Amino acid sequence: MFLMLLRHTKSSWSEPGMSDHDRTLNDRGRSNAVAMANYIRDVCPLPQMIICSSAVRTQETLAPILTALGDDAPEPFVTRAIYEAPGAAYINQIASGPDGSNVLVVGHNPTTESLAINLSGGDPRLLGDIATGYPTGGLTILEFKDGPWADALTQAGTHVGFTAPHLLKKDTVPGRVHLG
């Protein structure tokens, strides 16, 4: 089973005084959300559960993913529990996923980055991928042994891949996931 940790794409800071929770994506963020949606549809394992922060920018990052997945998209679980939350809040939400399911989490930094590092057991490949920081739109894919998520998350998963919008624009796509 796979866990995919996606940081929201680039948000706008153009409206002074707007609450952080209500910030939207900027034009680059919207474009990058579509690019990541296509990557998730074409390359990643199909998520059976999607957990998304209730922040506007995470929901706007998720929208093109749902469109790209079409009828294969599960109903997302949108929650404030992972907005400005520590990794434990993410873990609690993921652990509630169906046994053996693939889970996509659309969240925020710094938690997405620290969770990816911790759940990969500090895999040096991931650390190399994010050496300059976990970019907006960054996606880490980890594989865990099948079973209940609550059990799986007590051990490190296998780092399968990492990509981000700026990497998709290059000739090669890192982190391609091969199943079977």
Gap between the Cα atoms of 81 and 79, Å rounded: 5
Token readout for 142 is: 């980890």
Cβ proximity of 51 and 82 under 8 Å:
yes
Gap between the Cα atoms of 131 and 68, Å rounded: 30
Closest-CA residue to 45 (of 165, 168, 173, 161) = 161
Gap between the Cα atoms of 6 and 62, Å rounded: 9
| DSSP symbols for 137-170 | T-EEEEE--SS-HHHHTTSPPEEEEEE-HHHHTS
**pLDDT string in tens for the chain (180-residue length):** 999 999 999 999 877 778 989 999 999 999 999 999 999 999 999 999 999 999 999 999 999 999 999 999 999 999 999 999 999 999 999 999 899 999 999 999 999 999 999 999 999 999 998 988 999 999 999 999 999 999 999 999 999 999 999 988 754 444 444 443
Q: What share of the chain is helix, strand, coil (3-state, %, to 5)?
A: 40, 20, 40
